[in-house]
Chains A and B, each alone.
Chain A
Amino acid sequence: MSDGKKLNGSNGDGKQTFTISAFSENHIGLLNRITIIFTRRQVNIESLTVSGSALPGIHKFTIVVHDTPEKVEKVVRQIEKLVEVLKAFSHTEDEVIHQEIALYKVPTKALVEGDIIEQTIREHHARILEVRPEYTVIELTGHKEETQALFDVLNNYGLLQFTRSGRIAVTKSSKELFTSYLQEAGDNTVEYA
């Protein structure tokens, strides 16, 4: 059961982790329109990533939340109701492949003296991006638990800076739901008589 719990991110309070993806026109202020919906519904955003999608002119929002399925479904419908949003979906943890990236800046001296470089990099499948006399920058991609595990190790060596990205995700279904939708929707943002 513990594995199942971890898989859907549920803690027995009916809440679980969802990845919401929303596809929109690339317009000023849209992020604000979307976050207002979370504020009104009192849903906390765990992470948020916005970037251009595979389709020219269309932006993708990837939003991670932890809440009940009912509430998330209502939020998704409110997002999709926005005039400039083409489509919004929610996915449970077992429906997506997702990844985050983390960067760690550690004093080089501490790493060398601790004699942990090789072992740590191997164990965590991390990469070294930059080495200077003062500091070393390490990169790790993975789930939050994984980037957190490396954080816990490096924090013992005087971590200078740490940053973690929001989640990006693709669905496990072979075709993106949105692509077929867009084929019907067409390339013209607005049509006039």
Chain B
Amino acid sequence: MTIKSTGEPKKLRVTGAEAIMLSLIHEGVDTIFGYPGGAIMPAYDALMNYSDQLRHILTRHEQGAIHAAQGYARVTGRVGVCMATSGPGATNLITGIADAQIDSTPLVCITGQVAAGLLGTDAFQETDVIGISMPVTKWNYLITKAQEIPEIMAQAIYIARTGRPGPVLIDIAKNAQFGELDFEYHKCVRMRSYVPEPRISLDNLKAAAALINKAKKPYVLAGQGIILGGAEKEFLQFVEKSGIPVAWTILGACALPKDHPLNVGMLGMHGNYSTNLKTNECDLLIGVGMRFDDRVTGDVARYARQAKVIHLEIDKAEINKVIPADVPIHGDVKDTLPLLTKLIEKRAHESWLREFKEIDRIEYDKVIRHDLFPSKPGLTMGEVINVINEKTKGEAIAVTDVGQHQMFASRYFHFKNPRSFVTSGGLGTMGFGLPAAHGAKIGAPDKQVILFVGDGGFQMTIQELGTINQTQAAVKIVLLNNKYLGMVRQWQQLFFDKRYSETYLLNPDFIKVAEGFGIKGKKVLERHQLNSAIQEMLDFQGPYLLEVSIEKEDNVFPMVPTGASVSEVILEPKQ
């Protein structure tokens, strides 16, 4: 029996478990990442009846399922769906839920729960996942009756994808999965307690335009809100009319193509030199869909004190949270940017832009040149990324894990298209990369998906090689192996007198591990092997592991040390 999502709603006598599947189908969901177990078994049984409409991807761990759903959501813009059983299955989702919450990723997580009559009795595999996930979900709900399922699923999807997106967890007691109901599906369109589209203040837009029109050194900070709102075009129009230089947060990468003349680079702790320095020289700071994270601001007390601040943001709780806004513009940037663009005058800020370029030369000389075209024998992460750039020409999707390679990838990878960079920004979740890259490839099968991962993070979710082997999703894994937890080691070198406490890793033979999982691989030890090895990886018609042996003690610069001001950004270790 199949129900097409486009058909008229029909009343059907079904089980709660079937109602879960039908609800997902009605919402246009076609992919579920998950792992079965006792309390979710009725749902898994029903899934078999809908396998022609719902593709289920069996991961090797629930954390692998949720990170894959995140990767899928980030590249498609759709709601990622994952499913797990009660107790340990549900708790294994928590890291991914927290990651999705802080990075605003729309997810619906479905967990099984013990039967309603057993709730609170410490039944087998019972965990209060509603309580545990409450601080890290946008919304969650425990379903104890089958009849609740269609309406709650409709609310879950609505809440996850609207406003500032985020993860929703729906915990479904086993009796509700077994119970029967008359199924009829209607999408949720409004909740009176939740206003995802705020009313836009025209007065504030006018005030913002006045500030922009008279600013001499205006500066735009682009965040993920632009991408989440699908407002890349609106942003481009705003930027090109205003002529304002644009720097981006790590999640705002690809809000503007990297080679756009007004794109001056990345913000924050390991962002560019000019972007940090100019923050404390601009006269107007315009945050667009970003939240002034501490990795962006450095010391808040010494952050852009000289500048007026305009903050365009959909989440009211973010406005004035960290940096007070002289003019807040509460709303979806997809709606507010075009209104603002209409009110501003066409400008070019050539000499101001030139100031960035002049500082860029210093960074190129001191840092970038050595990262991308090293003269010393050891391979660098930057040169690997650079060779991949030359071959993929901005058309690939980059996924990263967390650490030094993540910073190198965000600094050097060439982003051209929207939604072509997937990384764990706010939570910094090691182990995110491999499953997220898998989910990204499932979501964007026609794109070259390249994972940059370190030897530490790779081993945190390495079991997902098994999932990748099962789906044969052609993820290209670039393992940048420096035999260290590199970012922690860098901090130990710079701030802890080179006391390398527990950062050296005795690693396995990764190529053999991959081979054991049925995945082809190759190891590069010398520079002259790099070009052809990367070509071979890109040409291979399936998943592939390219391990590159990286110089052990390389560091990421520039750097804004913890507690320092953005204007104290350094280009090399202090002597």
The residues of A with any CB-CB pair to B shorter than 8 Å are 24-25, 28-29, 32-33, 36, 40, 73-74, 77-78, 80-81, 83-86, 185-193
Contacts and interface: CB of A to CB of B under 8 A. Distances in A.
Contacts of A78: 317
B193 A83 contact: yes
Given A25-B193, A86-B192, A192-B186, A81 B315 contact: yes
Interface string B109-148: 0000000000000000000001100110011001000000
Nearest to B186: A192
Contact of A192 (B134, B188, B193): B188
Nearest to A84: B193
Contact of A190 (B142, B155, B315): B155
B189 A24 contact: no
Interface of B: 130-131, 134-135, 138-139, 142, 151, 154-155, 159, 186-194, 315-317, 319-321
Nearest to B166: A83
Given A32-B131, A190-B151, A192-B154, A85 B187 contact: no
B22 to A, nearest CB: 15
B134 A189 contact: no
A40 B135 contact: yes
B192 A186 contact: yes
Nearest to A182: B192
B159 A83 contact: yes
A78 B154 CA distance: 24
Contact of A80 (B159, B189, B316): B316
The 7 closest A-B pairs by CB, nearest first: A192-B186, A77-B317, A185-B192, A191-B190, A83-B139, A193-B187, A86-B193
Given A84-B194, A191-B189, 9 more contacts: A36-B135, A74-B321, A77-B321, A80-B316, A80-B317, A83-B139, A83-B193, A190-B188, A193-B189
Contact of B193 (A187, A189, A193): A189
A185 B192 CA distance: 5
A189 B139 contact: no
25 contacts: A28-B142, A29-B134, A74-B321, A77-B319, A77-B321, A80-B317, A83-B159, A84-B139, A84-B194, A85-B193, A86-B192, A86-B193, A185-B193, A188-B190, A188-B192, A190-B188, A190-B190, A191-B188, A191-B190, A192-B154, A192-B186, A192-B187, A192-B188, A193-B187, A193-B189
B192 A83 contact: no
Main SS at interface, chain A: mixed
A74 B188 CA distance: 29
Given A80-B316, A84-B193, A189-B193, A29 B188 contact: no
Contact of A193 (B131, B155, B186): B186
A192 B317 contact: no
Contacts of B187: 192-193
A192 B152 CA distance: 11
A24 B139 CA distance: 14
Contacts of B142: 28
Contacts of A187: 192
A189 B316 contact: no
Contact of B317 (A81, A83, A86, A186): A81
Nearest to A32: B134
B8 to A, nearest CB: 12
A84 B192 CA distance: 8
Given A77-B316, A83-B139, A190-B151, A36 B134 contact: yes
